[in-house]
Amino acid sequence: MNRGYYYAVNGMIINQRKLDCIGNNLANVSTAGYKRDTILTNTFDEQMILVKHREALSGKFVHRYVDTSYTDLEQSNFEYSDSPFDVAIYGDVYFNVRTNYPGADSEIMLTRNGQWELDGEGYLCLGHSGRIQGENGDIYLGTKDFQIDVDGRIYLPNEETGQYTEFVDRLRVSYINPDADVTKFGANMFTEVQASDPPEDLRYDIIQGAVERSNVDWNYELNMLLEANRLYEANSQILKMCDSLNQGATSLCKKV
């Protein structure tokens, strides 16, 4: 009977974690640059087989548990606009943002969110998250009239010709292996622990006038949400049945 309790509670915990994860994905379906998370489960037998060098095990109940969460770094679709402050990346590289939270030391974070603006001092920034980084540090523009080419070079217009020939800086980007286990910071930023300089043979393009949407598939997440909720309720009913049987057994023992 205690084993029944154990497995029912374990099933509820796993599916509660899944519900939390899926709910967070759905809440960020419209967040630019958001990468969906998923819960990965494992089983006790699989761990024992690994420890025992894959020796055959028999007569064991499979105990499933939440092993870790995984962030899917797959690139999503672009949403195009007329704003020069909307910038997207085609490829496996990320923008660099220097955070400037009050009372905290500056730290470099990575993001695919290209919804930028100018801060009060004329620097290119990602809202209140921090300043976008170029190869020479913070990028000062002082104007809303600028152009970014596919290689990430930023130009201002020449006062005489009006052509975008005044070089400012080049966007600093970092590479993250698509299969890497990343650490999230907020909704759509990552720490640079797993990042490195882009490989020389890596091809990527900077696209001005576009924003990368989240890679959350609404229909898929909704189906997963319904499945996790059904499994949670099923385990809840099993737990109630075990409790009822346990109470009945206790009552019989008392009578005996």
Task: Return all residues near 230 (Cβ < 8 A) that are at least 6 apart.
Answer: none
- Give the residue-averaged pLDDT of 66-82: 86
CB 160 within 8 A of CB 174: no
Predicted pLDDT of residue 182: 87
Q: What is the pLDDT of residues 47-61, one digit of tens each?
A: 555 555 545 544 455
Q: How far is CA 186 from CA 17, 34, 70, 106, 113, in A?
A: 18, 10, 15, 16, 12
Please tell me whether the overall predicted TM-score, pTM, comes out greater than 0.75 for this model.
Answer: yes
Integer Cα distance of 231 and 125 in angstroms: 44
Provide the percentage of residues in the chain whose pLDDT is more than 70. Answer: 80
Mean per-residue pLDDT of the chain: 84
pLDDT at 192 over 70: yes
Provide the percentage of residues in the chain whose pLDDT is more than 90. Answer: 56
Give 49's Cβ-side CA count (13 Å radius).
11
Q: How confident is the model at residue 235 (pLDDT cuts 50, 70, 90)?
A: confident
**Domain spans, the chain:** 2-73+228-255, 78-212
The torsion angles phi and psi of 196, rounded to 5 degrees, stand at -150, 175
CB 92 within 8 A of CB 177: yes
Predicted pLDDT of residue 153: 97
For helices 2-27 and 218-255, what crossing angle results, to 10°?
160
